Structure formats: C-alpha cells, structure tokens
C-alpha cells in the first residue's frame, strides 16, 4: 500500500481536529497515562496502527502526534476516532483546515476497542511528556479547495460483479486479510495464486482455497508490520517456470545488521530491509511449495512505507526476445522523503524510487547474484551508479502491467495527485522535485507549484493523473482484452481507499489522457465497493488473468475476490 494508503491512522489527527477553535485549550479531563506497561500495550498498538503515517515530533504523511493528548479529553478523542468524518461535516474550523492541508478524510477506526484507543493515547501522552513536545499549531484555512487536475468524468459504463472466492482471514485484526496480488499459474490450467501481505500465498482451484506457501515459517526475521506496505510485497512466476520451477518473491525483514546491496550512511536509521528472493520448487506439479530459495537483492529503507511492492516479467515477450526472462522490480522511495532524507532517492546512485530490470539467471551484478542486461539504459555509464536502473524518480510505483509493448506503472502520490505512467527506459519521472505536472519541494510535500520552464523536457510527465479531490491512493490495473466488448481496450484501475472504479481509453497513440469513472451494478441497482465490502476502508486491488481474459476485484477488508461478469454502456 505499501504503498501507501491514505487511511493510515486516525488517531494523530484526532486531537487536532476536534477543537472548537484553532488553538483552543483542553476541555474536560485530559488523557491520563495508562497504568499498563506502555511497551506491551500502547506502544505496540501505536506501532501497528499509526507509524506508517505519523511521527511524534515531525510531519510525515499526516501531522505529528506529539502534544495532541493535552488538547482534548479522552472521551472526545475516542468519539472522534470512531467517527472522524463528523468533525469535517460539521464544519469544525480546525478539522476543515487540516483536511485541506493533508487532502484526505480519515475513515472510522471503529474496529478498535475503547481500551485499545486509551492505550494508544496513553502512550502518546507519555511520549509527549518525556520529550516535552508542544501541540501542533494549525492555521485557519477558509479558502475553497483548489482542483489541480482535470475532474474524473462520470460515464454510463457499468459492470456487474459475481462472487468468486473468499480468502480466509489471516488475522483477527482489521483488515482480516491483506490480499494484494493475483497471478495465474503458467500452466494455464485455470488455477490462480493470491498473496496476502502477512506472508501467505494461496492457491485457488475452482472454489477451493489452499495455502501454497507460508513465508512466516520459512523466513527468519520476516515482518509484516508496521506499515501498510510491509510484509510479502509481490511475487512472479518465471516465464519458463514449467521447466525451471522458479518463483520470485519480495518481502520485508527486521533489520538485524545483515549487509545490504543498497545501504546508506549509518547515521540514518534502517527501519527494515526489503529482500528479493528466488524460490525453486522441487516439482512444478506440487500444490504446496517444497524447495529452496536464494537471495538476489537486499535493500535498506529508512521508513516502513513505499517499498518493493510489485515485480513482474513482460508477459508479451517470447523466447528469443531481448526482454524475455528479465525481471522488473519497482521500489518506492522507502519513505526517505517524508522522513527528511530526500537525498536518498531521485539519484542513480540509489535503488530507492526506481524500477530496475535484471536477469535473475545472470551473475554480472555487484553481488554476482543476478545479471544486468546489456541494453539497460545506464549500463555504459561510468562511476558507482546502479546499472540495474531502468527508470527512476518514483515515490511508490505500486503496480506494473504491460500492453502492446508498453509498460504501465501506477504511482501512489503524496497529497495532490495519483498517476499512471508509461515507462520509457532511462527517463526521470521527477519524484521528489515533481508531483504530477507540478513542482514540489521536499520541505513542503503538501503543496505544489507550477513547474519552472527550465524543466521542459527534463522529466517524463504522467500519462494519466487524478486529483485528491477524487481519491487518495491509486490501485493500478490492466488493459482489458477479453470478451466483454464494453471494456475492451480500456485500462481499468481504482482508488484503493474509496473504491471508485476508473478507466482510460487506450489507443495506439495514447491520445486520450482523460480519466473516466464506471459504476457497479448489483441486483439491478447501482452500488459501490464500500457498500459491498461493508467497510469505508475498501482497500481494493484490480487483477487480471491474461490467459482467460477475466478481470477481478479483490478487497482486503472482507477478503473477497469478485469477478467482473458483465459490462455495458447505458446512455445517460
């Protein structure tokens, strides 16, 4: 998520939002420090639910949390956390001002028990006192929210969904599952494989769901929290899997001092390590993985967000093509920019914020564990750059897909835009000095400005973009080529948080850069994924089986996979 999803942790914003005026003194009883051991209760809950987006003393994806418990009573905070949108809808000045700066409204964390919320608040209170943190000052903003991108265009295109399978819960916490990727088996026998970020890959045969591999039992130091983007990131079958039995999986590990292939100055913390491994199955007909693995690449990252969340082989390449068997690996900036270390990305001397292209069966890389293709764009550059890099300047290249020789990458944005990029080898996509078509400064990631004329031609502009007025985090998709005529030649994608379904018309020249919205029909009535999943945190993923040409929607909150059964256009 992971990227990263915008519904991270409500708690930090809670204290800021509820005040009746911008700098109001606390009313009622302030939050008392819990008598429970902080390390075993509040600290653990804070780590699980909050640190992806918030720090105590500095702004990250959301506002800093230190000091918030000195502003409001415990009952006010609990009430907000369970229904945060109420403060925005009621016109609360502080709430409105913060929502304009961060360009998001948090959904309710109503799955947390009151005692769990108290533990988190107690931990924040204790840390505030220990560090002497003052509450965040918020300037009133009464201006209207300015749209920066073309509005999404509502159309008469509609789809009908049918239930496919339910993935079993991997936790008793919300979300019940963290299903993230689907891949068809290379045998084209109809079986599908679905990953859960908590470390599982499931095999789906017909309506039967079984566990294919559980990384938790096989990877020492495997970790899937904190962070919406941690755990099992992605996986891909080698195109020659039926003969060599090779599968590639990315995952996160706790930092225990293992040497990394990409590292940085030890004065900057290592939050965790992203690892890409090759897993070789003993028998390609096995329905449960048995075999061994070897490590290809290990990357240090300074934060728990924007990691190595998608990998893939070009499915259009055949044996004899230069691209056949080459693995594309997308890694975000590792939270380096929001963590106040923008120098760690947007640089050919770093693997952060890049899409790299490697030959997993070669050995001419620095660590001799994989190969660097001879036609990579920077392969002949001098110096200590990473010749693996295919393109760079990404915040979070969340999903990769191919169509007619083009590589599409969905880019989860900061506070203003969500993007779809067409990847051109060797090009710079601008993060962290560009967001969308605009300039941005690492000193203020919440606001953009017109790009300087001197930037003309320097950066590759997005193919598609939509404004945070329309959504919060993109879930990349695929160009549909199946039997449903109304969907054909459309790149179909979604917004992770609110579940809105989008598409773009794809022609040979990519002449239409508009984003369109389609709607979902069930039982003859229009509905949406919030209603269908029963959660305001939809957490949707769009998946596609290139063999059967079937399109699927996966939602983490309820663990359901739904298949697109019909598509048609109704004149408006």
Same domain, yes or no: 52 and 194: no
Angle at 219 (CA atoms; ends 218, 221), nearest 5 degrees: 140
Same domain, yes or no: 272 and 221: yes
- The strand pairing partners of 204, in sequence order, are 192, 209
Peptide bond into 171 cis (omega under 30): no
Same domain, yes or no: 399 and 503: yes
Q: What is the predicted pLDDT for the residue at 95?
A: 66
Full domain range(s) for residue 224: 153-255+265-314+321-331+347-360+391-569
379 domain-assigned: no
Q: What is the predicted pLDDT for the residue at 96?
A: 67
Q: Could you give the CA distance from residue 238 to residue 484 in angstroms, rounded to a whole number?
A: 29
375 domain-assigned: no
Token couple for 374: 């001879």
Say how far residue 538 (Cα) sits from the centre of its chain: 13
Q: Does pTM surpass 0.95? A: no
List of the chain residues with pLDDT < 50: 1-29, 32-39
Q: What is the predicted pLDDT for the residue at 54?
A: 76
Same domain, yes or no: 115 and 35: yes
Region for residue 238 given its phi and psi (left: phi exceeds 0; alpha: psi -120 to 50; beta: otherwise)? beta
210 domain-assigned: yes
Same domain, yes or no: 188 and 99: no
6 domain-assigned: no
For residue 82, give the CATH number of its domain. 1.10.760.10
CB-count burial class (<10 Å; 0-12, 13-18, 19+) for 500: buried
Token couple for 325: 């068997």
Contact 499, 486 (CB under 8 A): no
Same domain, yes or no: 221 and 124: no
Same domain, yes or no: 105 and 165: no
Same domain, yes or no: 75 and 196: no
Structural domain count, the chain? 2
Say how far residue 185 (Cα) sits from the centre of its chain: 24
Identify the domain boundary among 78, 100, 131: 131
Q: What is the predicted pLDDT for the residue at 19?
A: 37
Question: Pick from 350, 357, 492, 325: which is nearest to 425 by CA?
Answer: 357
Same domain, yes or no: 326 and 466: yes
For residue 433, give the CATH number of its domain. 2.120.10.30
Q: Could you give the CA distance from residue 120 to residue 368 in angstroms, rounded to a whole number?
A: 46
Identify the domain boundary among 77, 100, 131: 131
65 domain-assigned: yes
Same domain, yes or no: 116 and 178: no
> CB 483: neighbour CB atoms within 10 A?
11
| Dihedrals phi, psi of 205, to nearest 5 degrees | -125, 110
140 domain-assigned: no
Contact 488, 480 (CB under 8 A): yes
Contact 144, 151 (CB under 8 A): no
Identify the domain boundary among 100, 131, 162: 131
386 domain-assigned: no
Q: Could you give the CA distance from residue 291 to residue 273 in angstroms, rounded to a whole number?
A: 23
Same domain, yes or no: 101 and 160: no
Distant-in-sequence, close-in-space partners of 451: CB < 8 Å, separation ≥ 6: 434, 437, 438, 439
Detail the DSSP E strand segments found in 308-392: 310-313, 327-331, 354-358, 389-392
Coil vs helix vs strand at 44: helix
Q: What is the 3-state secondary structure (H, E, C) of 424-451?
A: CCCCECCCCCEECCEEEECCEEEEEEEC
68-91 pLDDT, tens digit each: 787 778 887 887 777 776 666 676
- The strand pairing partners of 403, in sequence order, are 406
469 domain-assigned: yes
Q: What is the predicted pLDDT for the residue at 99?
A: 67
CB-count burial class (<10 Å; 0-12, 13-18, 19+) for 384: exposed
Same domain, yes or no: 66 and 123: yes
Peptide bond into 226 cis (omega under 30): yes
Specify the pairing of strand 153-166 against strand 516-522: parallel
């Amino acid at each position: 998520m992971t990227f990263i999803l915008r519904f991270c942790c409500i708690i930090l914003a809670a204290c800021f939002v509820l005040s009746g005026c911008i700098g109001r003194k606390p009313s009622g009883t302030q939050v008392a420090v819990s008598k429970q051991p902080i390390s075993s209760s509040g600290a653990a809950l804070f780590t699980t639910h909050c640190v992806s987006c918030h720090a105590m003393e500095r702004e990250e994806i959301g506002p800093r949390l230190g000091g918030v418990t000195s502003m409001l009573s415990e009952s006010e905070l609990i009430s907000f956390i369970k229904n945060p949108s109420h403060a925005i809808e009621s016109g609360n000045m502080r709430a409105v001002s913060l929502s304009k700066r961060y360009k998001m409204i948090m959904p309710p964390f109503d799955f947390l028990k009151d005692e769990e919320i108290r533990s988190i608040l107690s931990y924040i209170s204790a840390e505030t006192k220990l560090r002497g943190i003052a509450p965040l000052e918020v300037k009133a903003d009464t201006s209207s929210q300015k749209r920066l991108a073309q509005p999404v265009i509502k159309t008469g295109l509609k789809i009908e969904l049918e239930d496919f399978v339910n993935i079993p819960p991997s936790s008793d916490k919300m979300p019940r599952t963290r299903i993230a990727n689907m891949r068809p088996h290379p045998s084209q026998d109809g079986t599908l494989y679905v990953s859960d970020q908590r470390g599982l890959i499931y095999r789906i045969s017909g309506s039967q769901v079984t566990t294919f591999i559980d990384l938790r039992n096989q990877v020492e130091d495997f970790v899937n929290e904190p962070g919406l983007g941690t755990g099992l990131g992605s996986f891909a079958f080698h195109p020659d899997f039926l003969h060599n039995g090779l599968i590639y999986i990315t995952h996160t590990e706790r930092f225990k001092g293992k040497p990394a292939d990409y590292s940085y100055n030890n004065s900057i913390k290592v939050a965790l390590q992203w690892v890409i491994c090759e897993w070789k199955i003993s028998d390609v007909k096995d329905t449960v993985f048995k075999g061994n693995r070897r490590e290809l690449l290990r990357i240090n990252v300074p934060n728990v967000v924007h990691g190595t969340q998608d990998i893939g082989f070009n499915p259009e390449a055949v044996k004899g093509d230069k691209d056949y068997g080459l693995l594309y690996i997308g890694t975000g900036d590792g939270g380096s920019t929001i963590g106040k270390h923008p120098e760690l990305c947007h640089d050919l001397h770093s693997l952060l914020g890049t899409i790299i292209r490697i030959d997993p069966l070669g050995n001419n890389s620095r660590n001799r564990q994989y190969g660097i293709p001879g036609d990579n764009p920077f392969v002949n550059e001098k110096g200590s750059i990473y010749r693996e890099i295919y393109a760079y300047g990404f915040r979070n290249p969340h999903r990769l897909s191919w169509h007619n020789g083009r590589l599409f990458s969905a880019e989860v944005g900061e506070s203003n835009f969500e993007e779809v990029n067409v990847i051109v080898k060797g090009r710079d996509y601008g993060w962290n000095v560009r967001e969308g078509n605009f300039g941005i400064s690492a000193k203020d990631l919440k606001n953009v400005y017109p790009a300087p004329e001197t930037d003309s031609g320097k950066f590759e502009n997005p193919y598609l973009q939509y404004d945070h007025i329309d959504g919060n985090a993109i879930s990349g998709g695929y160009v549909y080529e199946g039997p449903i005529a109304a969907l054909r030649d459309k790149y179909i994608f979604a917004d992770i948080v609110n579940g809105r379904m989008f598409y773009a018309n794809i022609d040979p020249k990519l002449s239409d850069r508009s984003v369109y919205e389609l709607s979902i029909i069930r039982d003859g009535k229009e509905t949406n994924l919030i209603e269908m999943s029963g959660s305001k945190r939809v957490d949707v993923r769009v998946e596609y089986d290139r063999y059967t040409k079937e399109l699927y929607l996966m939602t983490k909150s309820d663990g359901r996979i739904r298949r697109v059964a019909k598509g048609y256009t109704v004149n408006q």
